[in-house]
Amino acid sequence: MLGRLSHGERPAVLGAACIAVVAAATACTAPAAATSPVAATRAATRVLMVMGASANEPAPASTRTIAGMVRDAIASDDAVLDIAVDGPAGPVAHTPVDLVLRRGTQVEHDADRRARLTADLLASVGHTLATTAGSSGQVDTLGLLAHVARSPGSVTAVVFSSGLQSVGPLAIEAPGVGWDQVGTQKVVDAVVAQHLLPDLRGKTVVFSGIGDVAGLQPPLPDSVRVRLVNHWLGLCRAAGGDCRADQEPLPPTAPASTVPAPVVDVPALPPLDVARGDPIELPSAALFGPDSAALLPSASAVLATFARVLPADVRVRLDGRTATVPPADSARRFSLARAQACADALVAAGFPGDRITVRGLGYDAPLVADLDAGGRLVPDAAARNRSVTLTVTTNGGQP
């Protein structure tokens, strides 16, 4: 189960820091100031950009999709851009930016001047994104979505985040989440049941940078990136939002933040060393998609390489295991299917099938105990048990 903490641990506050996006926006003002010319347009087109901008994420950038959104808002002649950056107490709102092209106090109508002003404004927004530094020391995608939910009225929001949630009940490494569950409907259903999502009805959300990393954070395999995108789209839609992901990766621009952020472990296959003869634990999160016995292409490639270097006189045993989740018969069948998928990959690469033994152990012989005294799953132990163990015996021995 997911933890039952609410996501109200980091209440959002309004900051007073300035972001100089256009020359006219040089002084910090309260976003709700009655005298602000921007505030008067708040009932019109609103674009919100909210970002973590941590030290483990590439700097936010204006992709083609995002530039198009800003350009469309500018063309409406009645729009405002709000920017918020994550801080220790939650996202901090900065001075709104008037997106109306003006000559003095009047709307600019000359086509050539509008084109130049639009280009200048887009460049300024891009510069602001690239130089913005978050200070929370966390990756809190859920907190960014909560800020979107608190924004009044109909809003189009760009959420810049790697999606590698490191805080709160939806942290990737929190109980009930974990890489072997990320992207599953099971997680979405549990989150909804525990009322952990903000209300995003009436909000349009575009995720940018999900799965993009920088700093000390190890890169994500493509299969894991896809799983993470699906994870956040599922949660966002369950919260009532109109949600999509920008498919253009962020450029590898170094982050501006210097505040250390947690590193999230990424599923990876260990080195396959036949010379040692030790059992090798292959984690399911690096082999398969959630609740699937179909090998990921990346896993098939690793097993194929391993098969080609195996000596001719060895035998291989593949033992599939699951976490302790009844019924036992289903667990045995599922673990057998996963172990057989690994065997098939070895055979496809040329290793003799008659020298492979496949077993589906389910949770009959766990690598570690994965239930606590109350009978609840221990997340780290359960993740370790969800695996296929590969054992090689040399010199013709029987594994």
Question: DSSP secondary-structure letter at 288?
Answer: B
Residue 397 pLDDT class (50, 70, 90 cuts)? low
Q: Is the per-residue pLDDT at 30 higher than 60?
A: no
Sign of the Cα pseudo-torsion (387, 388, 394, 399, in order): positive
pLDDT in tens, 57-77: 999 999 999 999 999 999 999
Per-residue confidence (pLDDT) for residue 276, from 0 to 100 = 62
Per-residue pLDDT, averaged over 319-336, amounts to: 96
Per-residue pLDDT, averaged over 101-125, amounts to: 94
Output the CA angle 32-37-39, nearest 5 degrees. 30
pLDDT in tens, 146-159: 999 999 988 999 99
Sign of the Cα pseudo-torsion (23, 85, 80, 38, in order): negative
What percent of the chain stands above pLDDT 90?
65
118: helix, coil or strand? helix
pTM to 2 decimal places: 0.74
Per-residue confidence (pLDDT) for residue 31, from 0 to 100 = 37
Residue 36 pLDDT class (50, 70, 90 cuts)? very low
Nearest-CA neighbor of 167 among 58, 7, 285, 51?
7
Neighbouring C-alpha atoms within 13 Å toward the C-beta of 397: 8
Over the chain, what is the mean pLDDT?
Answer: 86
Please give the Cα distance from 349 to 215 (Å, whole number).
37
Residue 195 token pair: 């009322």
Per-residue confidence (pLDDT) for residue 10, from 0 to 100 = 47
Per-residue confidence (pLDDT) for residue 398, from 0 to 100 = 54
Please give the Cα distance from 367 to 382 (Å, whole number).
9
Q: Is the per-residue pLDDT at 352 higher than 60?
A: yes
Per-residue confidence (pLDDT) for residue 383, from 0 to 100 = 87
Residue 4 pLDDT class (50, 70, 90 cuts)? very low
Q: Is the per-residue pLDDT at 15 higher than 80?
A: no
Q: Is the per-residue pLDDT at 44 higher than 90?
A: no
Per-residue pLDDT, averaged over 268-279, amounts to: 75
Please give the Cα distance from 138 to 226 (Å, whole number).
22
Q: What are phi and psi of 125, to 5 degrees?
A: -60, -45
Q: Is the per-residue pLDDT at 13 higher than 60?
A: no
Residue 271 token pair: 């080195």
Per-residue pLDDT, averaged over 273-283, amounts to: 79
Task: State which of 38-42, 238-242, 286-290 shows the largest mean pLDDT.
Answer: 238-242
pLDDT in tens, 73-82: 999 998 999 9
368: helix, coil or strand? coil
Residue 319 pLDDT class (50, 70, 90 cuts)? very high
CA end-to-end span of the chain, whole Å?
37
Q: Is the per-residue pLDDT at 92 higher than 80?
A: yes
